[in-house]
Amino acid sequence: MIKTRMSRRDAILGGAAVAATGLAAVWRPGAAVGFEPLPAVGAWPWPARGLDAVQTARGSTEGLSGCGGTSSGLLIAGLRKALPASAWTALPLQLASFANGGGPYGSDCGALQGPLLVMSLAGAPPALRQEFFGWYCGFAFPSPEWDDLYPLKATVRTVSHSPLCHESRAIWNTAYFGQAAKADGPDDTRCAKLTRDCVKKAVELLNAHRLTGYAGVWAPEEAYKACYDCHTGLEAKREPGAIHTGREDCTRCHAGVAPHGETGSKGT
């Protein structure tokens, strides 16, 4: 009897162990389709001849929604088509839908965050990603390149000087709502066109990086270079007033700050 009970116990424990092993294999981090591990972040494949930036940006948005979901969807769809046997097929198209409208707090534009996710997987170095964000801050969105895809043409163009959704859209709203009403009705195509602009630029940068080794270029603009250099210098010295991550033009919002830091003893 004891031997029988032990045998049953062993069988139960053995079965549990097999089941646990199976679950671990299915759910282990890095599992993609079947049991193939996903590439490490930064090592995801890129087409040997690159992607066609314009055709990728002009792709179908059927089933996609929002700036984040659409930007990631256009890029992943393009990569799936170019690399049908790759890990890109394991990703949902709307992977960056969390960033629609800048996410819960209207922060970084979703049309930046979708491509940024793909750029990170594909190994884009920091300066390349910074260049992408810097380009966004200075580009007059949206371009007319996608007008044939939408019923309304010649959308008002504005420069945000910021990667933030709420600033980018508010600046455009002010320009658009401030003009005389158009006979063809409200223009709600701005963000959709802007998203395609961002996808095109991201592909261009990634092609340059993966095909030629281009690592990107970024430097603070003259308007806030002194601010950037001072505050990052304080970070290096671990002194009050230190800032280690801010890179957008701070002078637009902080132009009214009282003089500070002239003696080098304090930062604000």
What does the pLDDT look like over 123-152, one tens digit per residue?
Answer: 999 999 999 999 999 999 999 999 999 999
Among the listed residues 44, 64, 173, 63, the one whose alpha carbon sits nearest the alpha carbon of residue 110? 64
Question: Would you say the pTM of this structure is higher than 0.85?
Answer: no
Q: What local confidence, expressed as pLDDT, does residue 36 receive?
A: 73
Kindly list the distances between the CA atom of residue 24 and the CA atoms of 19, 28, 29, 176, 251, in Å, as whole numbers in the listed order.
Answer: 9, 5, 9, 54, 52
User: Residue 11 has which token pair?
Assistant: 């069988």
User: Residue 255 has which token pair?
Assistant: 């132009």
Cα 73–Cα 79–Cα 85 angle in degrees, nearest 5:
120
Low-confidence ranges of the chain (pLDDT < 50): 1-6, 8-9, 11-13, 15-32, 263-268
Burial 4-42 (b: 16+ CB within 10 A, else e): eeeeeeeeeeeeeeeeeeeeeeeeeeeeeeeeeebbeee
User: Residue 145 has which token pair?
Assistant: 């390149």
Each domain of the chain, given as residue ranges in start order, spans 53-212, 219-268
Contact 252, 258 (CB under 8 A): no
Q: What local confidence, expressed as pLDDT, does residue 204 receive?
A: 98
Contact 107, 164 (CB under 8 A): yes
